[in-house]
Structure 1
Amino acid sequence: PSQVSASQLQLVFSQRLNPLPEPPPHFDESVRSLNKSLSRAIPLRTTDASTERFFSREISELDVALAKKHVRRRHSKGARGVDAVSYEQIMTIPNTVLAALFNRCLLIGLESCLLKMLTLIIDKRVREWAEAVTFLPDSQNGFREKYRTHNNSFILRSSIDEARANGKPLYVAFIDLKNAFPSTDLPTLWLKLWRAGISGPLFD
C-alpha cells in the first residue's frame, strides 16, 4: 500500500501547480504591476504577424499525422484522461476528423489524450516559429529539436579545459529555480509572448 495518501498528494501538487498567494520577495512589484496593466491592453482577438502564419493557419491532416507519429514513438501508453479515451483509440480516428475537431477547439491542456495531442501540435508551431525567427540562442539546448542537454556538458568541459590550458580561473554557477512553474507571473508571460511577436488565434 502507498505510504502517501491522496489528500497529502493533493495538498503538495496544489501548492506546486497554482500561483503563489504572494509573489516571491525578489519580484519587483512595480514592474509586476505595470506588466499586469499592459497585458490587459492586449486585444482579445489578435492578428498573426508571422509570414508563415504559424499562429493562424488551420491545423492540417499532416499536422495530425506528425502528432500521431510523435505519440507512437514516445507516448503510446500515456494515461487516459477523465474522458477515458486512450491514445490507441485516437489513432483509429481519421486525420481529417481530428484536424476538423482541433481547428474548432484550439485549447492547451493535459486533461485528456485528445487535448494533449492538440497541445503537441500547438507546441510544434511555436517551436517552428522560434527557429524561423532565430528567437532562441545557440546555448538553448533543452527541449529543442536536434539539440541535446549534454551539449551543455560538452561546453562546460571545453570551458574547463580552455581555462586550465590558459592558467585562468573559471567561475561557474548551477542555478535551480525553486517552484518555477507556480512562480511564473502569467501577465508578464503573456506580455513577453506578445512583444516577441506571437499573435493570432493560437495565441488568443
Structure 2
Amino acid sequence: MTNRLYELAIDIRDSYQHLRPTKRGPEVSTSKPAPGPRDPIPAYVLDVEIATERTVRAIVSEQMAAHPGLPRPASRDVHHLTTWLLNHSGVIVQGMDPGDIRDLEIVAARCDRLARSNTGETDRDVRLAQMRQRAGLGADHWTTSRRIVSLAKAAGVDISRTTVRNWGTAGRIRTQKVGEETHYSLGDVLRETRQEELTANDLAPDSGHSAAA
C-alpha cells in the first residue's frame, strides 16, 4: 500500500494546480492583470478544491498526531501537504485506515478529471500528437505521466498512469527529472505498448487451426 499512497499524493499534487480554467488564445497577455473585478471561479471547481483540501488536511492531521516525531509540513496548502504525504509514505502507511486511501483515490480521480478538461497544454499536445500520427511522424514528447496518458489516447493507445510509472521504474522506458516531476518519453510508451501487443499475439492460440484428433 506504500506505493499506492505515494502515487496518490503525486497525482493529487500534479492535478490540483490545474483545477481552475485558464484563458487561452492570442489575446491572453502575460502582463500583470488590470485591477478590477475578475471572472468568478466556477462552483464545480470550488467544490473539488474544497473537498480536496478538507480530505488531505484531515488525513495529514491524523498522521501527524499518530507520528509526532515527523517534521511538520511547510504549510497547509495542498502542494506542501501532498509532498509531506509522499515523503513520509513509507512510515505513515503502515497504520493508515484503508478508508483514508479510498478517500484519497476519490479526490485524485475528481482532480484528474477536472484538470484534464482545463489544461491547455494537454489539449495542444493531444492535437499535435494527432497531427504527427496522421503525418506518419514519430512521437517525441517528454512529459508527465498524466499528460502521457492523454497523448497516448490520441494515438489510439489506452494506458494507465500506474503502468507508465511502473515501466519507468523498471527501466522499460526512459525518464528524466524536471524539477520535482518525472517526465516520460511518449515514443518509448508507444513502442512498449506495441511490443506487448505483438507478444500477446504471438502467444495467443491459433483459432484457425484445430488440434489433430
* TM-score after normalising by structure 1: 0.26
Higher relative contact order (CA 8 A, sep 6+): 1
Considering fraction of residues, name the structure with more strand.
2
Considering fraction of residues, name the structure with more helix.
2
* TM-score after normalising by structure 2: 0.26
